[in-house]
């Protein structure tokens, strides 16, 4: 059986600091779950892959969440 062709989107997500301060952090798993739940409700996990290309530093996230920067 020939390998199925895959299509690729590069996604950029911007979130206001207040959401990060409240604990939000975009992870590949979280974004994939959102895509599967809302956009591709009938897709199986193996049919959708998500990779975070670039994210804020752990240090800046911790600082926004009230930790040390």
SS3 content of the chain, % helix, strand, coil (to 5): 40, 0, 60
Q: What is the pLDDT of residue 68?
A: 63
Phi/psi of residue 41, nearest 5 degrees: -55, -25
Domain boundaries, the chain: 1-69
Q: What is the pTM of this model?
A: 0.65
The pLDDT of residue 69 is 54
If you search the block for the tokens 């600091």, which residue do you land on? 17
pLDDT in tens, 5-56: 878 888 888 889 999 999 998 898 888 888 888 888 878 788 888 888 888 8
CB atoms within 10 A of CB 17: 13
pLDDT for 18 equals 92
pLDDT of residue 2: 82
Query: What are the CA-CA distances from residue 65 to residues 15, 23, 50 (Å)?
Result: 14, 7, 25
């Amino acid at each position: 059986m020939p390998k199925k062709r895959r299509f690729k989107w590069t996604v950029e997500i911007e979130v206001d600091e207040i959401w990060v301060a409240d604990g939000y952090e975009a992870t590949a798993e979280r974004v994939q779950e959102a895509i599967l739940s809302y956009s591709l409700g009938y897709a199986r996990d193996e049919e959708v892959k998500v990779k975070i290309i670039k994210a804020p530093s752990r240090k800046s996230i911790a600082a926004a969440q009230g930790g040390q920067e």
